[in-house]
Amino acid sequence: MSPIIIKLIFVSIVFGISLFVAMYSTYAERKVAAFLQDRLGPNRAGPFGLLQPLADGVKLFFKEEFIPLKADRWLFLMGPGFFMITALMTSAVIPFGPDLKIGDTVIPLQGTDLNVGLLYIFGVVSLGVYGVLIGGWASNNKFSLLGAIRAASQNISYELAMGLSIIALVMMTATLSMREIVDQQSGWHWNVLYQPLGFLIFLVCAFAETNRAPFDLPECETELVGGYHTEYSSMKLGFFLFAEYINMFISSAVIATLYFGGYHAPFIDSMDPGMLKTFLSIGVLFAKIFFFIFFFMWVRWTLPRFRYDQLMNLGWKMLIPLAVVNIIITGIVLLMKM
C-alpha cells in the first residue's frame, strides 16, 4: 500500500477513536458523578445504560434548530464547527505507539512527526478559544457575550503559565518533537519525576484551557444561564458539548505523553520488539489516558467553581511566578550537571 493510503487509514482510525472515547466519556462522566454522589446514574438504555450516549445523540439530532433573529447567522453557524475542528486537530502530533511492523511495511503510529510538535499543540490550543468567542458573540445575547469574554481572558491568562511550564520541560529534553520526548522517557525516566512543579502547573492550565470545572466560568449556569452556548440548540449545542470531551481526551493524551512516559512502561520496554509489544504499548498509553480522563471527572465532581477574581489571581499571581521559578531552578540544575 502506498504511504498516503496508510496515513489516511491511520488518521481515520484516530478520528474514530477520538469520537468514540469522547462519546463514552459523556457516559463515564455521568457514572462517575453518580458514584461520587452515591447514586446509580444512567441505567435504562441497554445493559448498564451503555446505549445512553447513542440515545443522547439521537435526541440532540431531533431537537429544534433555532437561530436567534438578530444573531450574526454565518458566524453563529461557524462557532461550533470551529470549536470542533480545533479540538480534533491536536491529535495529529501525538505518538500513539512505537512503529508498527507488518511484513516489510513500517507504519508510524503518529499523524506526523513535526520537529516542532510541542509548539503545534500549543498553537492549536491557543486557537481553541475562537469557536467559543465567535459563537458567544454571534448569538447577540448578553449572557453569551459575557461567557465568550470570560473564555477569552481565561484562555489567554492560562496559556502564559502553560507555555512557561513547557519551556522548563523543553530545556530538559532539548527537543520539541513529541516522538523524541516520549522516547527519552523509557523505563522510569518519566518527566513528571524530574519536573513535578512543571507538571502541576501544566495540569492546572490544562483544566483551565479545556474549560473544565473548577474553571468552567464561561458556561457557569448559576450566573450566566448557559454561558457562551445559551442560544444554541440541537446538534450545534451538541458540537460544543462534545468538543469539550474531545478536548479532555486529547489533553489527557498530551499530559500522558509529555510527563508520564507516553506509551512506555518499564516492564514492556524490556520485551522483545514485535507486534505484541506494539499493541501492549498502545494499551499502556490508553490506560494512562483513561486515568487522566477519570481524574478530570473526579476533580469536577469534587471541587466547587472558582470566583472570577480568584481565577485571575491564581493565573497571574500564582502560576506564572511559580512557572518562572521552575524555569530558573531547571536552568541552575542543568548548569550544575554540565
Partner 1 sequence: MNIDYIFYLLTALTIICATMVVVSKHPIRSVLFLVATFFCISAHYILLNAQFLALVNIVVYAGAIMVLFLFVIMFLNLNKEVERNKSILYWLGAIVSAGCIFLMLVSSVGKVALTNGNIEKENYTLGLVENIGMSLYTDYLFPMEICSVLFLVAMIGVVLLSRKENKFTTNTVSNV
Three cell numbers at 25? 466519556
All residues at 6 or more sequence positions from 102 whose CB lies less than 8 Å from its CB, including other chains: none
Give, in order, the Cα–Cα distances in Å from 2 to each of 6, 10, 64, 106, 114: 7, 13, 45, 11, 21
Q: Which is nearer to partner 1, 99 or 113 (CB)?
A: 113
Residue 102 forms beta bridges with which residues?
105
Q: Rule CB under 8 A: which of 70-89 touch partner 1?
A: 72, 75
Question: Rule CB under 8 A: is residue 115 a binding residue for partner 1?
Answer: yes
All residues at 6 or more sequence positions from 82 whose CB lies less than 8 Å from its CB, including other chains: 130, 131, 134, 135
Considering only residues 3, 46, 123, 331, which one is a binding residue for partner 1 as defined by CB under 8 A? 123
199 vs 164: CA distance, rounded Å: 11
Q: Which is nearer to partner 1, 27 or 120 (CB)?
A: 120
Considering only residues 55, 67, 114, 171, which one is a binding residue for partner 1 as defined by CB under 8 A? 114
Asked if residue 165 lies in contact with residue 247, where contact means CB atoms within 8 angstroms, the answer is no
The amino acid at residue 222 is: T
Question: Rule CB under 8 A: is residue 176 a binding residue for partner 1?
Answer: yes
Question: Rule CB under 8 A: is residue 225 a binding residue for partner 1?
Answer: no
Q: Rule CB under 8 A: which of 291-310 touch partner 1?
A: 308-309
Q: Rule CB under 8 A: which of 261-290 touch partner 1?
A: none
Question: Rule CB under 8 A: is residue 184 a binding residue for partner 1?
Answer: no
DSSP conformational letter for 105: E
Q: Which is nearer to partner 1, 21 or 118 (CB)?
A: 118
295 vs 98: CA distance, rounded Å: 26
DSSP conformational letter for 273: S
Considering only residues 51, 282, 312, 324, which one is a binding residue for partner 1 as defined by CB under 8 A? 312
# residues near partner 1 by CB under 8 A: 31
28 vs 245: CA distance, rounded Å: 11
Least distance from C-beta 159 to partner 1, angstroms?
7
All residues at 6 or more sequence positions from 3 whose CB lies less than 8 Å from its CB, including other chains: none
Considering only residues 28, 87, 100, 134, which one is a binding residue for partner 1 as defined by CB under 8 A? 134
Question: Rule CB under 8 A: is residue 158 a binding residue for partner 1?
Answer: no
Residues that bind partner 1 (CB under 8 A): 72, 75, 114-116, 119-120, 122-123, 126-127, 129-130, 133-134, 137, 140, 145-146, 148-150, 152-153, 155-156, 159, 176, 308-309, 312
